Structure formats: C-alpha cells, structure tokens
Amino acid sequence: MSATSESGLPIEPVYGPSELDGWDPGEKLGEPGSYPFTRGVYPSMYTGRPWTMRQYAGFGTAAESNRRYHQLVEAGTGGLSVAFDLPTQMGYDSDAPLAKGEVGKVGVAIDSIEDMRVLFGGIPLDQVSTSMTINAPAALLLLMYQLVGAEQGVAGEKLTGTIQNDVLKEYIARGTYIFPPAQSLRLVSDIFAYCQREIPRWNMISISGYHMAEAGATPAQEVAFTLANAREYVRAALSAGLDVDEFAPRLSFFFVARTSILEEVAKFRAARRIWAHMMRDEFGAKNPKSQMLRFHTQTAGVQLTAQQPEVNLVRVTVQALAAVLGGTQSLHTNSYDEAIALPSEKAARLALRTQQVLAHETDVTKTVDPFAGSYAIESLTDDVEEAARDLMRQVEELGGAVMAIERGFQKSEIERSAYAIAQGIDSGERAVVGVNKFKANGDEPYEPLRVDPELEAAQCERLAALRESRNGAAVDRALDELRTAASGSENVMDPMRDALAARATGGEVCDALREVWGVYQPPSTM
C-alpha cells in the first residue's frame, strides 16, 4: 500500500541504497557547521549546549504579562517571546474604535513606551534574549524596547533578540498588514540599516513559514514560500545599498514542527541546503554566517484539539522532538490547552518541562544530526528540496514574491492544501485522535484562563492619562518629522524613535505613516 507525506510526496515502505544511487554525501551533506549546512549550522550543535527554550507569552495588560514572564524565567526559560494583541499588531491604540473588544485578547496591549516599560519591569534586558512576534509595526516595538533598555542602562550593542518583521507572509496567510508591499519593504530595509548601526546583535527579521503552515501550507510549500520571501528581503536590502555579508548573518527564520517527524526533519535539512546555495551562488555571500539558515521553531498549534486536550501533551512532545532532530536553534512548545483558551500557568509550565525532558533526560543532545545517512531521511530531504525548488521557480516566473502575492499565487496554493487537509479529516482518511478516531464519551470539564473584561477600559484610561501628561507640542513636532522622512528617502527609524521617546503612541506613529504611505487593499479574488 502506497503512502504519501504531508507534501504529497511518496513515502516508500522500505528505503535502501537504491534510493540514494549516485548520491554524493560530500556534496549533499558536508560536515556539521560547514556548507551546505544540511547537518546543522554549528559543528557541535547540542553537544555543546541545548537549543534556546523560549515560551511565547503575552495577554491582558503589560503588568499581567510581566508577572508571567517572571514565572517563566524562574522556571528556567532562557528566552522570552512576546505575543501582542490584535490592535497592537495592526497599529491601532487600545482606544481606537477598531480595537473595541480586542484589547488584550490574543496578546498583550502595548500602546506606548510606558506599557513597554511595565512589560519588562524587573527583567534585565542585557541578560535575556527577547523575541517579539510583530510584523507591520515591528519598527516601533523594537524602538520602544531599545528605549526601555537605555533606561535600564543597557546599550543597544548589548540587546539580543528577534523581531519577526516578516510582512510579506501577512499578505499571503495572516492578514495583519498595514502598508502596501513596496512601502513595507522600504520599512524592512530601514530596520536592517538601523539595526546594523544601533543594535548589531539583534536579529532584525524572522522570516516565517509558521503562519503559512498554520493556514494549511504543506512542508514543501512552507519552505518554498518562506525562502522566496527571504529572497525578496535580500534584494530589497541590496537595493538600499547594504552589503550582503553585513546584514545576512542577522537574518533568521521561523518554522512549524508538525507531528510527522520524518518529513519535518527532512524539511529543516532541505531548507538549510537551499538557503546556503541561494546565498552563495545567487547573492555572492562569502561569509559562512550569511549562508547559515538559523531558525526558531514553534510546535503546530493547528494540530492541537479542544477534544481530550491532555492528548495535546503527546502531540507537542512529538512535534518538539521533530524540531530538535531537525536542528532548530530555539524552540517554543505550545501548551496543551491552547485550542481552548489562553494557556494556564500550569499548562505553560508543562510545555517548558517538555523541552527540559528532551534536553536533559534523553540522548538526542549527545550526537549531532543523528539521522544523517538514513536512507529514508536523506531521500525525503532530497524530495522536499526538489518540490520546494520547483515552487520557488514558479514564484520567480511570476516576477518574484511580491508580484506572485499580488496575483494571489501563494495564497491559492495554500488554500488548496488546506482544503485537502479538511477533506481528509472529514472523510476520516486523516486520523485526528479524539476528533474522528478514538473519541471519548465526554471530556472532563475545563476552566479556561479568561481576560478580565474591565481590562480594556483600564487600558484606555492609561492612554488618556498619557496624552494628558505629555508634551503635546513635542509629540506633534516629532510626528511631523516622521512624515517628512516617510515622504522622502531618509531612514524613518530615527524620527520614529524620537516620536516614541516623546511618548507618541503606537497608533499615532502608524497613523502618521498611513497618511504618507496609504493602506494596502488586497485584490479581489472573485
């Protein structure tokens, strides 16, 4: 009986030497830490130290999220990962009409530097690595973080972390875009240049396949469309006059880890190989760090179920193992109750303990790339690479990632895959334990974590007090300077920083840019 992978590629019942006939291990594999980095980006990988264990958190007010961060740090988390609420992601203040009912619901509400100050209160920013899942308004959240660091006496040179800053995938799969693609790419380039100058250890973009995968992309599509977007960012940076070997080492990636261990391991290895070839052969990068695909992984939230939620602990463990065997640099493990509500404190702690068991109680950290040379894994790696390269060629034939986005190519491909997955689950061909197979008569009651409905009013009161107490004329002058920079070719990061330091709100900064750059209107698909 024939079987296929998540990407629709054939999986043979038995693999052997014939599948790798004519296969050159020197060309395909190399050594760990060496081109083409199939076996990992560092020579020792986890034998030296384990991956960074991040936990994604953020809800309600900055004060509530701050308490959760302190709990995570005390539990052994090595890196923080911030979730922002929808108004923050869309560049609106909490008192904006469009924000009503959404404040603090899917992440923390950050309206100004004062909120950022509270969010990281008592957390030394020179001792933690912080990842911020923010895209269209990534610039202003990074600048707020830098300003808070300066208040702590931490220079920009000592700040480490990542902003997602991957707006192209928003047009494909997620929808939290603000400006048109050309202006968004200009802002990305400005961030690149600013980070080189001011925050050199910061990863200035995390090019994401995760959200495309959550929308239904196959592993091959996830790799292809992520790397096609990355190609577009590199081109934009080069067009802005940046040197590839100066900015490329600070590029990072963000992928999903599904329960399909074999294909996921192959996916990560294939992605590293494609990136290495692209950076060396297409863009002429000579620095090995420019050729390394370093990535963060999050376990697949879309595979978690509200039915029998404790079973998600098993799913997350399997997904985390796939990420580790695939050579991730950092990992977030989802909480078992995320299909129901915001994670409880207990569930978040268990998610972290899952990583700690893998790192300290198993033997997966004792050798580098343990699947190397496996007939199955090497064959699947080649298959995923070939399928991803074929999709990348199609994107290029359409004129590159932006033009393909404007024609709806990536979105339509992902929607077809998502529909096929839904059909498979509905028909029972694709098993989901507890949903269409091995159902329980009745799940035990679960009390979800809820956001206080009074939070929104309190956040709006904070905003009103901020506007009352600040120097309004100074804010207006700073926003005018930002508009002037956005109208010309000046880097907008410096006037944006000045506006935020004057206590302009995130919504006011984004509104100033909306006035100059406009707002993206997606093409009709009818």
Return the pLDDT at 444.
66
Q: What is the arithmetic mean of pLDDT over 332-344?
A: 89
Q: What is the mean pLDDT of the chain?
A: 93
pLDDT category at 78 given cuts 50, 70, 90 is low
User: Cβ(52)–Cβ(161) under 8 Å?
Assistant: no
Q: In what order do the strands lie in the sheet with 251-257?
A: 202-203, 160-163, 129-133, 79-83, 52-57, 330-332, 295-299, 251-257, 205-208
Window from 90-94, 310-314, 339-343, 364-368 with minimum mean pLDDT:
339-343
pLDDT category at 442 given cuts 50, 70, 90 is low
Whether the per-residue pLDDT at 514 is higher than 90: the answer is yes
Q: What is the arithmetic mean of pLDDT over 112-140?
A: 94
Return the pLDDT at 151.
97
DSSP state of 321: H
Q: What is the arithmetic mean of pLDDT over 394-408?
A: 95
- Element spanning 222, H or E: helix 219-239
pLDDT category at 1 given cuts 50, 70, 90 is very low
Return the pLDDT at 526.
40
Question: How distant, in Å, are the alpha carbons of 157, 201, 471, 497 from that of 500?
Answer: 20, 22, 12, 5
Residue type, 416: R
pLDDT category at 443 given cuts 50, 70, 90 is low
Window from 78-82, 112-116, 431-435 with minimum mean pLDDT:
78-82
Residue 207 β-bridge partners:
253
Whether the per-residue pLDDT at 519 is higher than 80: the answer is yes
Burial of residue 67 (CB within 10 Å: 0-12, 13-18, 19+) is middle
How does strand 251-257 pair with strand 295-299? parallel
The C-alpha atoms of residue 266 and residue 376 are separated, in whole angstroms, by 9
| Domains with residue ranges and CATH for the chain | 3-427 (3.20.20.240)
| 3-state SS, residue 298 | strand
The C-alpha atoms of residue 89 and residue 212 are separated, in whole angstroms, by 17
Both tokens of 361, joined, read 């109680």
176 contacts: CB under 8 Å, gap ≥ 6: 86, 89, 90, 135, 136, 170
Q: Give the number of other CB atoms < 10 A from CB of residue 75.
A: 15
Return the pLDDT at 455.
87
346 contacts: CB under 8 Å, gap ≥ 6: none
